[in-house]
């Protein structure tokens, strides 16, 4: 049976580059690994996890899906399970932004014009992850806001373009989510989070001033700063 994906993982699956080897790092239950294998669009799907428990769950999911022929399950930390250049798409879903940044920073081969597409579904701190991507020379090819289990997520596809991308508060907060249905609700949520962040900053800090200006402009334009009920 092909596993059903939630909206996060379904969006991530749509962003993988067909015809490439895909590595689903932190595969846990293995639903995305098995789903991708069942599509027949990828020569190999590598599912990897830091811990043996999740990896055996993934093995069971793949077996139930009956499409294990192109699946390779590996135990290990981050991209250490891959040879440099081995995957053309790397998925990191359901991890904190910080963990995703640490995993990617440890694999320099990812930072290359012919390097892999990154498909990222951070569990936290979307703006921090976008800022890191821009600074590191990645452009967002997609940035889809989706709801799953009552939470909003941003599902990002990032390609290395070789030079740092413009870094503004707006670009970090919203990325390209405004191009999708759900973008307005996602933006309201991000503004709500921004107000929380502001409370921890001193008035004189440049970030505090940028946030004040941004929120003031949003309110003046009648934009909500929390999710509509
Ligand atoms: C919350 S689960 C996400 C599962 C799935 N990707 C999803 O989004 O539904 C996070 C998984 O990442 C794994 N993980 C955390 N740090 C990791 C690392 N450095 N390398 C590989 N896997 C890691 C955990 O063991 C866990 O199984």
CA 175 / ligand 1 centre spacing (Å):
24
DSSP state of 166: P
CA 73 / ligand 1 centre spacing (Å):
13
* Strand order through the sheet with 138-148: 71-75, 45-49, 22-25, 89-93, 117-121, 151-160, 138-148
Q: Does the pLDDT value for residue 108 go beyond 90?
A: yes
- Give residue 1's pLDDT band: very low, low, confident or very high (50, 70, 90): confident
Residues above pLDDT 70, as percent of the chain: 99
Q: What is the mean pLDDT of residues 31-36?
A: 98
155 lines ligand 1 (CB under 6 A): no
**β-pairing, 138-148 with 71-75?**
unpaired
Overall fold of domain 7-168: Rossmann fold (3.40.50)
CA 185 / ligand 1 centre spacing (Å):
27
Rounded to the nearest integer, the mean pLDDT of the chain is 96
28 lines ligand 1 (CB under 6 A): yes
CA 202 / ligand 1 centre spacing (Å):
35
Q: Which of 15, 27, 28 to mutate to test the pocket of ligand 1 (most atoms within 8 A of CB)?
A: 28
- The answer to whether the beta carbons of residues 87 and 46 sit under 8 Å apart is yes
Q: Which of 16, 26, 77 to mutate to test the pocket of ligand 1 (most atoms within 8 A of CB)?
A: 26
Is 0.85 topped by the overall pTM? Answer: yes
DSSP state of 31: H
- Give residue 225's pLDDT band: very low, low, confident or very high (50, 70, 90): confident
Q: Does the pLDDT value for residue 31 go beyond 90?
A: yes
Strands (E), the chain: 22-25, 45-49, 71-75, 89-93, 117-121, 138-148, 151-160
Backbone angles phi, psi at 225, to 5 degrees: -115, 15
CA 169 / ligand 1 centre spacing (Å):
29
Domain coordinates of the chain in residue numbers?
7-168, 182-229
- Both tokens assigned to 134: 């821009």
Q: How far is CA 57 from the centre of its chain?
A: 22
CA 95 / ligand 1 centre spacing (Å):
6
First to last CA, the chain: 37
Q: Does the pLDDT value for residue 228 go beyond 70?
A: no
**Sign of the CA dihedral with 99 first, then 103, 105, and 110 last:** negative
78 lines ligand 1 (CB under 6 A): yes
pLDDT of the residue at 54: 97
Lowest-confidence region among 5-9, 99-103, 156-160, 188-192 = 188-192
Q: What is the mean pLDDT of residues 176-196?
A: 95
47 lines ligand 1 (CB under 6 A): no
CA 19 / ligand 1 centre spacing (Å):
24
CA atoms within 13 A on the CB side of 229: 0
pLDDT of the residue at 146: 97
- Give residue 224's pLDDT band: very low, low, confident or very high (50, 70, 90): confident
Using CA atoms, how far residue 229 sits from 51, 70, 174, in Å, is: 39, 45, 20
Q: What is the mean pLDDT of residues 142-157?
A: 96
pLDDT of the residue at 189: 93
- Give residue 227's pLDDT band: very low, low, confident or very high (50, 70, 90): low
Q: What is the mean pLDDT of residues 20-45?
A: 98
Number of residues written out for the chain? 229
pLDDT of the residue at 51: 98
């Amino acid at each position: 049976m092909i596993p059903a994906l939630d909206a996060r993982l379904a969006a991530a699956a749509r962003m993988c580059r067909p015809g490439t080897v895909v590595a689903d790092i932190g595969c846990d239950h293995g639903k995305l690994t098995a789903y991708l294998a069942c599509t027949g669009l990828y020569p190999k799907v590598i599912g990897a996890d830091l811990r043996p428990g999740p990896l055996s769950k993934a093995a069971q999911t793949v077996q139930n899906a009956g499409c294990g022929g192109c699946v390779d399950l590996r135990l290990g930390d981050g991209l250490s399970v891959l040879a440099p250049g081995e995957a053309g798409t790397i998925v990191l879903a359901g991890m904190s932004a910080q963990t995703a940044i640490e995993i990617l920073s440890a694999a320099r081969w990812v930072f290359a014009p012919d390097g892999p597409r990154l498909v990222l579904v951070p569990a936290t701190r979307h703006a921090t992850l976008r800022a890191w991507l821009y600074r590191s020379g990645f452009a967002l090819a997609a940035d889809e806001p989706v709801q799953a289990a009552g939470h909003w997520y941003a599902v990002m596809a990032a390609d290395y373009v070789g030079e740092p991308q413009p870094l503004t508060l707006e670009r970090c907060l919203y990325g390209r989510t405004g191009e999708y249905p759900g973008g307005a609700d996602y933006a309201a949520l991000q503004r709500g989070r921004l107000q929380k962040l502001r409370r921890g900053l001193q008035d004189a800090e440049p970030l505090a001033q940028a946030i004040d200006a941004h929120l003031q402009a949003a309110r003046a334009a009648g934009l909500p700063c929390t999710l509509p009920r």
